[in-house]
Amino acid sequence: MSGRASRALGAFGVPLLYAAGAVLLGLTVPRLEARYLPELSAGMSTGAATAILSAIASGTLPLTGLVFSLAFVMVQFSATAYSPRLVGWLAGSAMMSHSLGIFMATFLYSLAALAWIDRGGSGRVPLLTAWLAIVLLLASMAFFVLLVERLGSLQISRVLAYAGDQGRAVIERDYVPLGSAPATQPGADEAAQQAVTQLLAHRGGPAVIQAVSVERLVALAAREGALVELAWAVGDTLVDGMPLLRVHGGPRPLPEHQLRRLVRLGTERTFEQDPKYALRLLVDIAIRALSPAVNDPTTAVQALDQVEDLLLRLGRSDLAGGRVRDAGGQVRLVFPVPRWEDFLTLAFDEIRYCGASSIQVMRRMRALLQDLMEHVPAERRPALQRYLERVDNGIRRSFEDVDDLRDALEQDRQGLGLSRERRPS
């Protein structure tokens, strides 16, 4: 199922299932109760039961409109304050869909239950029918509390932690510690050594490579004795006619429809197999905070905290992947992967440029680079040293005052809190 179809199912399918379930309960529960438990009564007057159910039905509908109006206003505010790519995090969440569904179910079932109060002038209030409406009301209140808690997650610290957690999950799942994987022979490129026997091109509008079914692609290529090459990396955008997959070797072409199913395309990037996307969101939040309209360098410093953690994990990981072998040791899948320098460019360049005049950001960035150099393997340190020199050169260009220049060249993990040079040893 495509990403767009999944989101549509979550946004509309779940509430509709709740509504259909409520209608079904409203049609069956009272009838079953009247048939098998005719003497069971709620022990309250029909007037009281009618008032309670009417209050539930009439109060749930406006509450639904109020809550979701507020929710979407807050989502829009977050998109403006942080990044528009965060809208789907809340608007498309399961909590929003289930909350809307339970509110609709409570409203519809209460209306159906009203029809069985004093039905046929019996003066009877069906016990199960009435209490089921109360249970749905309590469930609605529980979801209301959970929804309010969900809205509280729009605090900047939680948003940054969310992006960082997504990136950490991808790194932990898809990367192995440096030195634990067998080294690739220098210059070895299995795909370049074999002729292209099949080319699969993208058809349609612009689409992002969201995820690749690695195990199934390897199994398919091994079964056919071929090598599959993904032309672009996860996170890249394809336009009509661009190559998607190249097949090398094999006695016959691989099934095109099966190949297309194993590469998921969508309208936006996802965290699933793309650690760069977590860095992208953190950088977006940081540079938006550094814009003249916002002018919030503290948020940029908080974003750098998460960036540092992700880079530390990547710096200790083997990034020279992109080749997957079958059980016999034969390379069956090749795909582009980002280098260490690519991660550094993404993480630092825009923040370094937008925060060049912020003493707080420059101090935090210098501390980040120095600390990374102390904790990553030796082969990763030269790139960090080059970035530190670029940061220092930018500081010297931006600060003409000698005192400001001296302050900006200090290291401070808080930005402006405790400079390392002044800290007692």
pLDDT digit string, tens, across residues 286-333: 999 999 888 899 999 999 999 999 999 999 999 887 888 888 888 999
pLDDT of residue 340: 95
pLDDT of residue 115: 87
Smallest CA-to-CA distance from 130 within 199, 48, 247, 204 is with: 48
DSSP per-residue codes, 237-278? EE-TT-EEEEEEE-SSPPPHHHHHHTEEEESS--STT-HHHH
Pairwise CA distance, residues 319 & 178, whole Å: 8
pLDDT of residue 90: 61
Please give the structure tokens belonging to residue 413. 């993990």
CATH of domain 196-266: 3.90.1170.30
Smallest CA-to-CA distance from 387 within 403, 404, 405, 368 is with: 368
Pairwise CA distance, residues 143 & 15, whole Å: 13
Pairwise CA distance, residues 190 & 192, whole Å: 6
Q: Residue 186: is its pLDDT beyond 80?
A: no
pLDDT of residue 4: 47
96 or 366: which carries more pLDDT confidence? 366
pLDDT of residue 286: 94
Q: Are residues 128 and 38 in contact, defined by beta-carbon separation less than 8 angstroms?
A: no
Percent of the chain at pLDDT > 70 equals: 89
Q: What is the helix (H) or strand (E) element at residue 324, kind and residue range?
A: strand 323-325
Q: Are residues 251 and 225 in contact, defined by beta-carbon separation less than 8 angstroms?
A: yes
Torsion of CA 261, 205, 285, 288, to 10 degrees: 180
Burial class for 82, CB neighbours closer than 10 Å (0-12, 13-18, 19+): buried
Pairwise CA distance, residues 318 & 334, whole Å: 16
Burial class for 285, CB neighbours closer than 10 Å (0-12, 13-18, 19+): buried
Q: pLDDT tens-digit profile of 263-273?
A: 999 988 888 88
If you average pLDDT over every residue of the chain, what do you get? 86
The band of 183, judged by pLDDT with boundaries at 50, 70 and 90, is: low
Q: pLDDT tens-digit profile of 378-422?
A: 999 999 999 999 999 999 999 989 999 999 999 999 888 887 754
Q: Residue 138: is its pLDDT beyond 90?
A: yes
pLDDT of residue 11: 56
Burial class for 278, CB neighbours closer than 10 Å (0-12, 13-18, 19+): buried
Smallest CA-to-CA distance from 13 within 111, 141, 100, 110 is with: 100
Please give the structure tokens belonging to residue 281. 């969101």
The band of 150, judged by pLDDT with boundaries at 50, 70 and 90, is: confident
> In 168-321, which ranges are E strands?
196-201, 207-212, 226-230, 237-238, 243-249, 263-266
Phi, psi for 230 (deg, rounded to 5): -80, 120
Please give the structure tokens belonging to residue 108. 């519809």
Q: Residue 182: is its pLDDT beyond 70?
A: no
pLDDT of residue 64: 82
Pairwise CA distance, residues 17 & 239, whole Å: 36
Percent of the chain at pLDDT > 90 equals: 53
Pairwise CA distance, residues 249 & 296, whole Å: 55
Q: Where are the domains of the chain?
A: 3-154, 196-266, 275-320+337-422
Q: Residue 424: is its pLDDT beyond 80?
A: no
Read off the pLDDT of each residue in 56-64 and give the average, rounded to a whole number: 87
Lowest-confidence segment of 85-89, 173-177, 314-318, 331-335 by average pLDDT: 85-89
The amino acid sitting at 164 is G
Q: pLDDT tens-digit profile of 189-242?
A: 666 567 888 999 999 999 999 999 999 999 999 998 999 999 999 999 999 999
Q: pLDDT tens-digit profile of 340-351?
A: 999 999 999 999
Return the CA Rg of the chain: 29
The band of 362, judged by pLDDT with boundaries at 50, 70 and 90, is: very high
- According to DSSP, residue 335 is labeled -
pLDDT of residue 123: 78
pLDDT of residue 43: 77
Pairwise CA distance, residues 381 & 316, whole Å: 11
Q: What is the helix (H) or strand (E) element at residue 4, kind and residue range?
A: helix 3-8
